[in-house]
Amino acid sequence: MRRAAARRVEPPPGMHLAQILFSQGFGTRRECEALVLRGSVRIAGRAVDDPAAEIDAESLVLDVDGESWPVHAKALVMLHKPAGYECSQRPRHHPSVMSLLPPPLRRRGVQPIGRLDADTTGLLLLTDDGALIHRLTSPRKHVPKVYEVAAADPVSPRQIEALLQGVVLRDDPNPVRAAACEQTGERTLRLTLLEGRYHQVKRMLAAAGNRVVALHRSRFGELRLPADLAPGQWRWLAGEQDVLGPPTTLP
C-alpha cells in the first residue's frame, strides 16, 4: 500500500514574535520577550525589538544571538551519536545524548526515536512529535534499521543463515529474524532489522554463536548517516519524508 503524501508541519501564520520564540524552546514567555526587547532577534537581517510583532511563521528563519534557527512546529533532527552517551533524559553511567543538542531543542522536549546503547554509534533521530515516534518505531510499520557489526570471531555462513532464519532470545520463544544480513569482512557484517528490542543485535549475534565488539547504525528507513556529519554533530530534517523516502499520493 502506498503512503499518503507527508508534509512538513508549519506553525500557524501570524503569531507574535515572542510566541514563536517560546514555541521553539528559547525560554519562558518572559525570557522570550526579553530576548526581543534587547535586540537579540533578527529576521532577514533586520533586528525586531517588538515582542508583539505579528510574524508569518511559515518557512521563517530566525537569527537569535547570531545563530540561525529555522522555525518548525515539530522538531525532527538527526544526530551522529558517539560512543559513551546514553539515550536517556536521566542517564546513569554516561552523559545524555541530549547534552549534544542546543538548549532550545532540549527545552522543547525532543526524545530519541528508538534507543542506541551507550557504546553504539551512528544515526539517531530525535523529535518532539509523539505521533511520529510511534509511526517510526511501530513493528507494524516495518521501517528498516541497518547496523554495521564488528564481531569477536570470524563470521561463518552458518551464523549468517541463523540470523536470517531466526534465533531464539531468552525472553521470547519465537525466533527473531534479520530482514537482511550480509558479510562485509572476515569479522564484520551488515544487519537489517524491522523492529527494535533491548540489546537486540548483540543478543542475536550471541544466539548465533558470536559476539559483538562494535556496533554502528548507518541507516534508519531511507535516511543514511551523511559522511560529513561528524560524531556529536546534529542536523535538521525537513520531516518524516526524509526518513521514509519521497511521499506518494493515494489514488
Q: How confident is the model over 122-159, as pLDDT tens digits? A: 999 999 999 999 889 887 788 999 999 999 999 999 99
Whether 117 is catalytic is: yes
Of residues 137 and 179, the one with the higher pLDDT is: 179
Q: How confident is the model over 86-125, as pLDDT tens digits? A: 998 777 889 999 999 999 999 999 999 988 999 999 999 9
C-alpha dist (Å) from residue 158 to 145, 155, 205, 207: 23, 8, 12, 12
**Which of 49, 117, 153, 172 is labelled catalytic?**
117
With cell 541463523, the residue in question is: 162
- Classify residue 149 as exposed, middle or buried by CB count within 10 Å of its CB (0-12, 13-18, 19+): buried
Q: Which residues contact 93 (CB under 8 A, 6 or more apart)?
A: 86, 118
